[in-house]
Each structure stands twice: as structure tokens, then as C-alpha cells.
Amino acid sequence: MDFEFDEPFIDAHQHFWDLGANPYPWLQGETVPNFRYGDYSALQRNYLPEDLARDTRGHAPAGTVHIEAEWDRADPVAETRWLTQLAQAHGRPTALVAHVALDHGDAPALLAAQAAFPLVRGIRHKPVSAASAEVAQRDLAGSMDDARWRRGYALLQPHGLSFDLQAPWWNLDQAAELARDFPQTLLILNHTGLPADRSPAGLAGWRRALEALAAQPNTAIKISGLGQRGKPWTQAENVPVIRDAIAIFGAGRSLFASNFPVDSLVAGYGTILAGFVAAIADRPAHERRVLLHDNAVRFYRLG
């Protein structure tokens, strides 16, 4: 999409990878079962700062937050080291959310190692979740209910780290309790809570789940990941979802994010940004600035 946009904004969720130099099993031979956008072979190529610059020409972010990109789990600190070098050379990314498996025995040491990097602001570790609302259950090993997982989560606050959560909306009852039980840790929900089911019943369940999470004041939501398998990314499909998410969390706790290059499978960068801008066009200028820029600066401490 040919979209020009010169207001300052932060991209709160993007990824880089160099497949010739670094290990990303999911992009180098392993297959992610039931990947939510279907065939993802188009992602099996390098994606580096110059690629992001190309994709955002005419609407470039003032800063970006890199979210861990499934680097080989044997050495997650190596991803942080490589990204730090990339940032020093290219000015991107601006901040990092690194990976630590919170339920592993080495979590304390790895959290300390990740927190020692100046660009690291938070951690993402995808908890075990159910495949659908119909089979959702509590107390699974590796889930947000797991006592061992929670012990790892408790270590975030002493390091001053936030948590990026990727989980479907039907598991957000666990997330609401997690946020309640650890009120000093900011929990940022990724990809709008994954509202893939756009039926009236699916959207109603998604809204209820977001409302339960948003009731905890130490939570926020990233508006991203709204593509649907086999469908084009359209404002008709997604602007109402964006507006609902912002209405539930409020302008002060909602952020724009692209999820590039993953979401390049469903739309160009300009299409995604233009959709978000359209969704907030009727809001006052100061709220638009907060949604596009200031919340990301505050939550990821970019100032």
C-alpha cells in the first residue's frame, strides 16, 4: 500500500533474523504445526534493518521494540548479544524483549544475564495454552498456572523487567490472575489476544477475556497480529476489532505494533499502519500521539 505518514510512532513489536549466521530452527527446517497464517515459507529469508527500512519507506517508525524471534532455545542470550551489536551498527532495534524459559532450572541465571544488557526491557516466554476455547483447561504444566512457571515469573520484578505475553484469549483468565498476583510486573498482551474467530460468539468471548485482563491495572495490549488465514487484511475486518481493544484497555494502555515481518504474510506494512491510523482517526490529537508513540516510550522505557 502506498501510504505516507510523517507523525512520530513506535513499532512495539518487530523481528530481525539472519538465517545464514544464526540459528532459528522454525525457519531452518523445522515446521511449526498449525501456524496461524498457514504457509510461512516466505519468511525463510533474512530480515534485517535494511529490509525494515525498505518496507517502511514513507512511514518509518521513530523507534522499534524487537521481540525475541524463536532463536535456538539452547542459548537465548546469544540472540540478545547479536541484536545489541545490530543496534549499535544500525540504530535498530531501539529496545529488546528477550527470551527466558521461566519454568527451567536455569531461569534465575538467564534472567540475570538478559537483564544485564542495556537494551533489554522485558521477557517473552510463550506459556502452554489450549488449542481452542472448547478444550481450554487450567493447571497444565508449563502454563501460567504452573507453580514452577510462576516462580520464574516472580523473578522479573527484581530485575525491573516487564513481560510480553502471547496467548489466545481463552487463556487470559490465567493471565488476569497472574497480573493480579504480581502487581508490580507490567504484563503486555501480544497480538490483540489473537481474535482469529470473528464470529459473533468468538468476538464476544474475546471481548470478555480482554475485559477480565484489563481489569488489572498493570496490563496493556499491543494491537497487532490481526491477519486471518486465507483472507486479505482489510480495514472493514480489522478497524472494529482495533477500536474494541482500545475501548477495553483505554488509550493509555494500548500500543501500535506491526509484527513484521511475520505479518507481511497477510499485508504490507503500510496497510497495517494505515488501518490503525484509521481506527483512531476520530480521537483527539493527544490520544493519537499516546497510542502511536508515548505508550511504547513509557512501557518500554525508550526515553
Residue 262 in domain: yes
Q: What are the tens digits of pLDDT across the range 125-161?
A: 999 998 888 888 898 899 999 999 999 999 999 999 9
Q: What are the tens digits of pLDDT across the range 48-90?
A: 999 999 999 999 999 999 999 999 999 999 999 999 999 999 9
Q: How many CA atoms lie within 13 A of 248 on its CB side?
A: 26
Asked if pLDDT for residue 1 goes beyond 70, the answer is no
Q: What residues contact residue 174 under an 8 Å CB cut-off, 6+ apart?
A: 127, 138, 143, 144, 145, 167
Q: What are the tens digits of pLDDT across the range 159-184?
A: 999 999 999 999 999 999 999 999 99
**Average model confidence (pLDDT) across the chain:** 96
The rounded distance, in Å, linking the Cα atoms of 127 and 82 is 25
The pLDDT value given to residue 303: 80
The rounded distance, in Å, linking the Cα atoms of 20 and 23 is 8
Burial bucket for residue 88 (CB in 10 Å: 0-12, 13-18, 19+): exposed
Range of the domain at 262: 10-299
- Reference 47, options 16, 75, 72; nearest CA is 16
Q: What residues contact residue 225 under an 8 Å CB cut-off, 6+ apart?
A: 190, 191, 192, 194, 259, 262, 263
Residue 167 in domain: yes
Say how many C-beta atoms besides its own lie within 10 A of residue 33's C-beta: 5
Q: What are the tens digits of pLDDT across the range 183-236?
A: 999 999 999 999 999 999 999 999 999 999 999 999 999 999 999 999 999 999
Residue 2 in domain: no
Residue 112 in domain: yes
Residue 56 in domain: yes
The pLDDT value given to residue 284: 96
- Count of domains for the chain: 1
Residue 3 in domain: no
Burial bucket for residue 211 (CB in 10 Å: 0-12, 13-18, 19+): middle
* Section 103-113 average pLDDT: 97
Residue 67 sits in a domain whose CATH number is: 3.20.20.140
Residue 128 in domain: yes
Residue 4 in domain: no
The pLDDT value given to residue 226: 98
Q: How far is CA 260 from the centre of its chain?
A: 10
